[in-house]
Amino acid sequence: MNDQPILFIIPGACSLGSQITLEWLKIPYQVGITSPEIRQSEQFRKVNPAGKVGALKDGKVVVAENLAILLYLADNYASHAVCPPYGSNDRVLIYQWLSYLSSTLHPAFQHFNYPNRFVEDDYVDKFRELAEARLLVILQYIESNLSSNGFFLPTGPTLVDAQAYGLLRWCKKHNRGENLVDLTAYPKIRNFFAIMEQNPAVQNALLIEQQQAQALKGSLFAGYFEFK
């Protein structure tokens, strides 16, 4: 492995937020696309013993958990444009929202999308119904708290928006192509999608996920990491 940060991902997964952030930071980085076999390998378990993405290797530093990766990037690379400075009130909002996304929104999607991981077959339909109701409450909370500029923070786009986009996109199309959420009642979330999808960093991150790196514009993406 060389010295460029390597972000390990699954296309369609929660790792997209860190990838958008790397794009915003304008630093060269590689992406390692992981399969189930790779995530179980000894090589990958040294990066994340839990066998999950996101996971980051940056020189000798390895970081797992999306929240930790985002804060690591903020501490080590971020211009204040994507993360307000330590000690500011807005930095506190970053902590709050990242925590909310990791501890509340992400698990709510897991319950909704994968009910059979949590309950036996007989209970799946009821569990899923309850999970959907809970997810809608969470979406309403986000809808009510998006700033008037369309982003999470009143100062403009930050790594919270990057992570939120990577998760909220599961409302539109889950990577298994099912379990869509009707967003008619959430105009601010729909607007959030629109402004994020116009952003070149988001477009680049999505292209890299889909292995269409030849179409990138203004990215310092340094190539796909090859597992050996």
Ligand X SMILES: N[C@@H](CCC(=O)N[C@@H](CS)C(=O)NCC(=O)O)C(=O)O
The radius of gyration of the chain from alpha carbons, rounded to an integer in Å, stands at 17
Nearer to ligand X, 10 or 20 (CB): 10
Distance CA 65, CA 68 (A): 5
Note whether 66 binds ligand X by CB under 6 A: yes
Note whether 205 binds ligand X by CB under 6 A: no
Note whether 78 binds ligand X by CB under 6 A: no
**Count of residues interacting with ligand X (CB under 6 A):** 13
Cα–Cα nearest to 68, from 80, 85, 56, 86 = 56
Binding characters for ligand X, 87-116, by CB under 6 A (x = yes): ---------------x---x----------
Region label for 12, one of left (φ > 0), alpha (ψ between -120 and 50) or beta (otherwise):
left
Q: What is the DSSP string of 19-62?
A: HHHHHHHT--EEEEE--HHHHHSHHHHTT-TT--S-EEEETTEE
Closest separation in Å from C-beta 139 to ligand X: 18
Note whether 52 binds ligand X by CB under 6 A: yes
Note whether 30 binds ligand X by CB under 6 A: no
Residues engaged in binding ligand X (CB under 6 A): 10, 13-14, 36, 39, 51-54, 65-66, 102, 106
